[in-house]
Each structure stands twice: as C-alpha cells, then as structure tokens.
Amino acid sequence: MHTKKTIVSVPYERAEVIRTFICQMAAWLDEENFEGFLDACDPEVRYEAVAYSPDLGGEMRWLDHDLKGLKDMVDMIPKHVRMSGRLCRHLSMARIGCEAENTMIAEYTFLLVRTADSGESQLIASGRYRDRIDFGASHTPRLMQRCVRLDTTHWSPGLHVPL
Amino acid sequence: MTARNSSAWERQPDLPADHYVSSSIYTSQEIFDLEVERIFRKQWKFVCHESELSNPGDFRTVNHAEWPLIIHRGMDGVVRAFINACSHRSSLVATTPRGNAKTLTCFFHLWGFDSQGGCVDITKADGYAECQFVNKDNMGLRAVKCAVKLGMVFVNMDDEAEDFESYVGDAMTQLAEPMGTVPLEVFHLHRVQINGNWKQWHETNMELYHEWGHVVNRTTSILAPKYHERQWDIHPNGHGTLEPFKVEYANYKGWEQRDRLTLPGLTQGEFRVMDLFPNTTVIVRGTVIRIDTTIPVAPGVTILEQRGLAVKGENAEDRRVRQQHHNQFWGPLGRNLSEDVIFVDAVAAANKRGAGRWGLFARHEGLKSQDDEIMRAYYRVWSHWMGRSANDPLAKQPD
C-alpha cells in the first residue's frame, strides 16, 4: 500500500463495518443494482480504473469519473450491446487502515468472473480496489474514492459497467 | 417470404462475384496458412509507434503473425527491425516487451548483436575454431525491412517487397497534419482476444453499415448532418479513406462536444479514418487518435492491439481530457470497441463449422459512408495476393 506510513490500524468493529460495506458494494455491482452502489457513494466521489502497461512502461487511465459521470455511464447500459451472462466480483481483503479520524483506507484484491448463459465461467480481470471510505458525523460509511488497479490488460471484449 | 431450405441456403448468392465472400475465408486452416505466407510474409504491416522507441537503444518486441520481431532504435537514432531469434540456437534475444540496450545480448549463451544486427560477441569463440562458418561475420540477426511514416513503424518480411512509400501511396495524406505536425505519443495500449478471424476485425473499420448496431455511433454519427454525404476514397493496394465530417458527441447522454484540444489540421469534433491493407486502421476523433491492428493466431483466434495517441509533453489536465475522449469510445470500458468485439464473435460463432455460408457486401450508395465498395475493393486485393477468389477460396486449384 503506497500510504503505508500514514495508515494506522483500526478497531475490529470498524473494520467489520468496512468489510460489510465493501462486500455490499460488490454485491450491488454483481446484481447491477447501480442505484444502491451510487447511493453509497459520497457526492464528491472519484472513481478511477488504472492499469500498468508493460509495453509502454507507464500507467494507463481507463476510467475517471465523478458521481455524475458514473451515473451517466450506468444509465446508458441498457441501450448497449453487452456480453450475456453474469459478472461476479470475488474479493479478498488485503489491508484496512485509518487515514484520518473518520477516513479509512481499504484495499482488496478482486477477481472478476463472468459466467455465460451457457454456464461457462471465465476470468475477465484481476486487480485491486483501493477505497477511501468516510464515516462522517453520521457514522455511516460512504465511498469517497475508488481506484481500481487492474493487473489485466489483455481483455475479453470489454465491459460497459463499473468494475 | 419464407425461410430457405438447405440447398437455397448453400447456393451461391445470385450476385456479382465480388459482392459476397465465403465464410471459409474466415475459418479454413488452409486459407489461414496461405494468408500468413502470401500476405503477412509479403505485405507491409504496422508494428508500433515511434514514441515507443524514444531514445537510442530503446527496443520493443512484437508479435507479427506469430513471428517474434524486435524493433530497435539504434545508437545512431535509426529504427530497424530484426527477427527476434538468436543466430545460435534461435532463442528469443529480447524477452521483455520493451527495454533499452546498446548491444542486444541473447540471455541463453550471451551472444551479442549491435544495433545494425551484426554479431559482435560470440561467447568463448575459440570453441568454433574447427567450424569456420560460425564466426561473427556470418552470425548476424535476420534483418527485416522497416519504414517509419508519421511516427508509425511498419515492417515487411519480404526482402524484395516494394518500398513502403509506393505501397501506401497517398492513403496517409489525411493524417499528415494531425499526426505529422506535433509530436505524439502512445498513452494507451491494450489487447483483446477475439474469437474470430483477423479480417473480421478489419471489416469493422470499413463496413460502416454496422454502425447502426452501436447506440453511440447511431446518436453521435449516423444522426449527425453530413454522415451520409461522405465519400470513400478507394486507394490502390486495398487501402481506403473516408471524407471527414463532424461528430456530434453531445448527442450521447453525459458527453460534451469536443470543442478544444483539437489536433492540427482538424475542425472541432472532426472524424477521419484510414484503413491500410491488410489489417491496420487509424481513426482520428478530433482530440485523440486510435491505431488498431491485429495479430492473427489461428483462423478463429485473433489478438486485437489497440493504441491511443495524444500530444507528447502536454499538461496533465489536457492529457486527462484526451484520455477521457479516448476511453469514451475505445477503452476496454468504453462504449464502442467492446461492442465490435461482440459483433465479430457472434459472426464467428455462426461461421465456425459453416452454418453461416456467405457474407454479403452488396450495398451501393454512390461510394458514400455505408457503401460496401470499400469491402469489395479490399477483397479484390486479398484475392489477388492469395490467388484465390474470396467467394470460392477452396475451389480446386490448377496443378
């Protein structure tokens, strides 16, 4: 984790809330309940997807949205031609830490698996979420920032949905 | 109107010979092997952009129809290409996608090659004293013809091939200003495995009738003024360009017009496209450029390689905007490119065992945007090089 020096451990109870929150966000995306996902985002949320290119020796930015950009993106999904089947995000916790009193950093590895209507499953992407989560005065977690760092740069057709 | 029985389905369409192709051109191993021999080992092919080799000694390794090549900018600044195989035991000399080396040293037995491909080092050469053939003079790398135009690096495996300038003719003229007057660099490169034939991908860049299938193309382009007024320019050797027009990006929900950062020589939101035989396309969308090319692996397996280009040295905010414009259409999470892959896969699924028999390229619209003449011209050139008709490629050949 790049911010290793500033991260301090968080109490078990708060870590549990974060785990539950991240899993719920992933479930909403899997279910394509984008409204649920967006409702859990802070109005100032920033959502990025980046990947390192071994060919170019640099980082590529594949998505960079604020809340409106995310909403516009998901609103158009029904109009697009898409791979059939279901997507499932398999998460493994890497680290949870505290950046400020009410701001937590959670890092999860994920595997994005697509199961076609025929029942075949296929690994689409491997990567890592790095989320900044704010608890604020209400003590309700909100997603302030998600950086999806992809290891996979060799793709299946591609997706119209947030990762 | 009724469904057709099997004989009607199988029967050759009652069309001029160049107005349809057999699905065998996409699925036959015999045809694929001939394509490798007669097209990919003979024709000029885009491999990378010059910005990927910015400094003396920089190299890129590329896959050219399953032949490993190394593209190297020599210490003299000249870009050269070689087969990436050591003269000794044919190991890959360079094993990473990119790097920098004054001398290319094979990691297997440490033979060394200079930037002109000459062998400069044979480890413990005295072991070959009784085999005089094995000496530095005879052990150079295999050079590959190489040309650079508007920053695009092309190779040709055929030592006797015509030079690149005559091959490409004036097909790249439309790109001269946007690609040749400001330094550009590749900021995006991703690959997609397509479960279809390499020609099918190139068709998506020429057969624009399919744009009806993309919601983003329907809204921003097909419904825009002048979309249907553009005319194809059919160039010799299977290349094609289309007259520019203005795309209405704001017609797609959440997008804005591209009214700043316009590349040189373009008007705001201007769209240009150039298709180069056999399988490279450059698309300019006002602020950003895409180069796509394919790596044929098998009749039904293709690797698409997709690059995005922007202005080198621009500030972070301008780059962010250009990246966004690129990604809206062409990123792996964008609105257009993934749909084309799905279209190609769907056609390949029906063609795989011959259920799909024919592809029709029979539209006539006075050479306007969705006229199929660009496809017919492409397959006439393909047929010329292959010595096979695209509508009956497996016909018995004269002895």
pLDDT digits (tens, 9 = 90+) for B183-218: 999 999 999 999 999 999 999 999 999 999 999 999
Tens of pLDDT along B110-138? 999 999 999 999 999 999 999 999 999 99
If we measure between CA atoms, which residue out of B174, B217, B156 comes closest to residue B340?
Answer: B217
User: Cβ contact (<8 Å) for B186 and A163?
Assistant: no
Predicted local confidence at residue B128, as pLDDT: 97
Asked if B335 lies within 8 A of A159 by C-beta distance, the reply is no
Cα–Cα dist A134/B111, whole Å: 57
Calculate how close chain A gets to B18, using CA atoms only, in Å.
Answer: 30
At residue A1, does pLDDT exceed 50? Answer: no
pTM over 0.90: yes
Can you say whether residue A21 is alpha, beta or left, with left for phi > 0 and alpha for psi between -120 and 50 degrees? alpha
Inform me whether the pLDDT recorded for A5 exceeds 60: no
**Strand pairing class (B240-246; B232-234):** antiparallel
Closest partner CB to A154 (pick from B193, B323, B327): B193
A154 to chain B, closest Cα gap in Å: 5
Q: Which H or E element spans position B379? A: helix B373-386
Query: What was the pLDDT predicted at B65?
Result: 85
Sign, CA torsion B124/B130/B131/B133: positive
Which stretches within B240-334 are classed as H helix? Answer: 316-330
Q: Are A70 and A41 in contact (CB under 8 A)?
A: yes
Residue A6: pLDDT band with limits 50, 70, 90: low
Confidence at A136, pLDDT banded by 50, 70, 90: confident
* pLDDT computed for residue B397 by the predictor: 82
pLDDT of residue A157: 87
Structure tokens at B379: 């397959």
Q: B16 versus A3: which is more confidently predicted?
A: B16
Q: Give the model's pLDDT for residue B72.
A: 98
Alpha-carbon distance B285 to nearest alpha carbon in chain A (angstroms) = 17
In chain A, what are the domain boundaries? Answer: 12-150
Segment A63-92 mean pLDDT: 95
Tokens 């959440």 sit on residue = B254
Over chain A, what is the mean pLDDT?
92
Which residues of chain A lie closer than 8 angstroms to B338, CB-CB? 82-83, 157-160
ipTM: 0.92
Q: Tell me whether residues B253 and A76 touch, CB distance under 8 A.
A: yes
Q: Does B187 touch chain A (CB under 8 A)?
A: yes
Q: Give residue-wise pLDDT tens across range B218-263.
A: 999 999 989 999 999 999 999 999 999 999 999 999 999 999 999 9
Residue numbers of B between 125 and 144 with CB closer than 8 Å to A:
none
pLDDT score recorded for residue B399: 73
Whether pLDDT at B336 is above 70: yes
Give tens-digit pLDDT for B7-38. Answer: 999 999 999 999 999 999 999 999 999 999 99
Angle subtended at Cα B276 by Cα B275 and Cα B277, rounded to the nearest 5 degrees = 120
Q: Per CATH, which fold does A12-150 belong to? A: Nuclear Transport Factor 2; Chain: A, (3.10.450)
Tens digits of residue pLDDT in B284-293: 999 999 999 9
CB contact under 8 A, B254 and A80: no
pLDDT of residue B163: 96
What is the average per-residue pLDDT within B325-341? 95
Q: Cα separation of B306 and B337, whole Å?
A: 10
CA–CA gap between residue A155 and residue B44 (Å, rounded): 27
Query: According to the model, what pLDDT value does residue A7 have?
Result: 61
pLDDT at residue A139, rounded to an integer: 83
Strand A86-100 with A58-65, pairing: unpaired
Report the percentage of chain B scoring pLDDT > 70: 100
Task: Name residue, tokens 């050469």.
Answer: B125
What whole-number distance in Å separates Cα of residue B30 and Cα of residue B40? 15
Residue of B nearest to A58 (CA): B187
pLDDT > 60? residue B87:
yes
The answer on pLDDT for A2 being more than 60 is no
The answer to whether the Cβ–Cβ distance between B327 and A83 falls below 8 Å is: no
Segment (H or E) for B153: strand B152-156
Which of A81, A82, A157 has the CB atom closest to B213's CB atom? A81
Give which of B272, B289, B273 is closest to B281, Cα–Cα: B273
